[in-house]
Amino acid sequence: MDSIEIKNLRLRCGIGFSPHELAVAQDIVISLEIGCDSRRAGETDLPADAFNYKTVTKAIIACVEARRFSLVEKLAEEIARIALVDFGGAWAAVRVSKPGALRRADSVSIRIERQPEDFRQNVAFVSLGSNIAPECNLPAAVALLRRLSTVLAISPVYRSVPQGDHEQAHFLNMAVKMHSHRSPARFKAEVLDRIESELGRARDPGNINAPRTIDLDLSLWNDESFSFGRKPWTLPDAGILRYAHIAQPLADIAPEYALPGDGRSLRAIAAGFAGSGLQPVSIEFAV
């Protein structure tokens, strides 16, 4: 198989988790090999028939400069995804190096190889809510979701009245669409539960509707209907048909999604909650 090689692309990136790494951008070196079929370009001599390595490079630079990464593994995975998903590569080999990351060594590198099927992932929809410092906790939760998985879309934020226990502050609610390689059980345990713990979610056994710093619920998984885990948890989340603060944010990011077992689009379901009193709220989310 033919390939295009991009060697030693030198950039500066917000990467790392040690205190000295958080303070300033770090030097990184990226080398990338992308599988492609160059026979047509070799036959026609037309630029339009060649794999456009310049556009791939520009997309990688944009990704590196716009985001912060804790691990080179995550950065390498994002670069491979760009090459295969966004630009149709047949396969990709990515090396990311951090010069000076280890004393007495020139650099530390990771090299990964990926195929297009590695990025045929599950699509997960997560509903978020907070009524303890929600202006801080919702952006923090989204930032952690970006770190632990791949965020595809985020909804607007809405203010809603609390359910069950009305003697507490109003909630801010939203939804996020994501990709994940994990199973639903692992996604809940390794992503959602982990974020709730990091953001100080405390559960009151005597009041399931008590105030919370953050609440992350898996609402939809692909276009499937099933139960999983010890509780068990059921998907789609029954709350989609009961509460505007769950249905409306999901409809904002996937309006034509047909709810399994119901058949109606999320747009139609959300329209049924007209007059529910949801109020849009403006919050800034980091890219």
Residue 114, classed as helix, strand or coil, is strand
Domain positions in the chain are: 2-119, 122-281
Residue 10 neighbours by CB distance under 10 Å: 10
Q: What is the pLDDT of residue 221?
A: 96
Burial environment of residue 172 by CB neighbours within 10 A (0 to 12, 13 to 18, 19 or more): buried
- Scanning the structure block, which residue is given the tokens 């276009």? 223
| Cα–Cα dist 234/64, whole Å | 37
Identify the pLDDT of residue 68: 83
For residues 258 and 20, what is the distance between their CA atoms, to the nearest angstrom? 48
pLDDT confidence bin for 287, thresholds 50/70/90:
low
Residues in the chain: 287
- Give residue-wise pLDDT tens across range 174-222: 999 999 888 899 999 999 999 999 999 888 777 777 789 999 999 999 9
Alpha-carbon dihedral sign for residues 96, 99, 100, 105: positive
pLDDT per residue as tens digits for the range 245-257: 999 999 999 999 9
pLDDT tens-digit readout, 116-173: 888 777 999 999 999 999 999 999 999 999 988 889 999 999 999 988 777 789 999 9
pLDDT, tens digit (0-9, with 9 covering 90-100), for 52-110: 999 999 999 988 888 888 888 989 999 998 999 888 899 999 999 999 888 888 888 99
More confident residue, 247 or 277: 247
**What class has domain 2-119?**
alpha beta
Q: What is the pLDDT of residue 48?
A: 86
Q: Which long-range contacts (CB under 8 A, 24 or more apart) does 270-278 make?
A: 270/244, 272/247, 273/243, 273/244, 273/247, 273/248, 276/160, 276/244, 276/245, 276/248, 277/160, 277/161, 277/244, 278/158, 278/159, 278/160, 278/244, 278/245, 278/248
| Mean of pLDDT values over 269-273 | 96
Identified catalytic residue from 54, 58, 74, 98: 98
Residue 21 pLDDT exceeds 70: no
Q: Give yes or no on whether 2-119 and 122-281 have one common fold.
A: no
54 flagged as catalytic: no
Q: 118, exposed or middle or buried, with CB in 10 Å at 0-12, 13-18, 19+?
A: middle
Segment among 30-34, 225-229, 238-242, 244-248 with least mean pLDDT:
225-229
pLDDT score recorded for residue 168: 81
- The CATH number of 122-281 is 3.30.70.560
CB 176 within 8 A of CB 167: no
Q: d(Cα 153, Cα 257) in Å, to the nearest integer? A: 14
CA distances from 134 to 104, 205, 262 (A): 46, 22, 32
Instruction: Specify the amino acid at residue 99.
Output: P
Tell which wins on pLDDT, 107 or 241: 241
Higher-confidence position of 114 and 118: 114
